[in-house]
């Protein structure tokens, strides 16, 4: 007999939080607003109830969380070191794990190398520096 533990609501929330982080803090550094809008349209990193049934155990949910955190860390590192390719294999490995769990992330490591947008550029997806409107 094997005992497995079901994923928790908190894990589901964490997965969604990491996907939102990608759209707010990572993608705006590499892509323009039209491309990011298209990513949402084609359901990049979209998770549904079916996904949470698919990675329904603690281990599977943690694998998805860890993959997203690893990809985020690598892409944040790439902002400071755009020519570095040391983490390509790790990036690709984590993308393949996401694919195994049917989480759509159709990117290659090299797609984040070519053009890094200016940090001063505006994006509707970036988190506002402050919350006050005058």
Residues with pLDDT less than 70, the chain:
1-7, 50-56, 113-134
pLDDT at 50: 67
Residue 2 inside a domain? The answer is: no
Instruction: Please state, in angstroms and rounded to a whole number, the distance separating the CA atoms of residues 10 and 48.
Output: 15
pLDDT at 11: 86
Split into its structural domains, the chain has a count of: 1
Domain region containing 46: 9-111
Residue 65 inside a domain? The answer is: yes
Residue 49 inside a domain? The answer is: yes
Whether the CB-CB separation of 124 and 23 falls below 8 Å is answered with: no
Residue 1 inside a domain? The answer is: no
pLDDT at 133: 53
Residue 131 inside a domain? The answer is: no
Whether pTM exceeds 0.85: no
Residue 4 inside a domain? The answer is: no
> Which residues 6+ apart lie within 8 Å of 18 measured at CB?
65, 68, 69, 72
Residue 34 inside a domain? The answer is: yes
Residue 16 inside a domain? The answer is: yes
In 90-116, which positions are buried (b, 16+ CB within 10 angstroms) versus exposed (e)? ebeebbebbeebebebebebeebeeee
pLDDT at 55: 61
Whether the CB-CB separation of 122 and 61 falls below 8 Å is answered with: no
pLDDT at 94: 97
């Amino acid at each position: 007999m094997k005992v497995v533990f079901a994923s928790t609501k908190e894990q589901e929330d964490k997965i969604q939080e990491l996907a939102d982080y990608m759209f707010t803090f990572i993608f705006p550094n590499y892509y323009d607003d039209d491309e990011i809008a298209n990513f949402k349209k084609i359901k990049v990193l979209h998770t549904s109830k079916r996904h949470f049934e698919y990675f329904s155990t603690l281990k599977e949910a943690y694998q998805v969380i860890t993959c997203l955190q690893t990809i985020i860390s690598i892409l944040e590192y790439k902002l400071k070191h755009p020519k570095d390719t040391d983490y390509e294999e790790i990036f690709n490995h984590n993308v393949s794990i996401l694919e195994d769990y049917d989480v759509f992330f159709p990117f290659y490591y090299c797609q984040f190398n070519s053009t890094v947008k200016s940090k001063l550029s505006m994006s509707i997806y970036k988190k506002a520096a402050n919350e006050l409107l005058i």
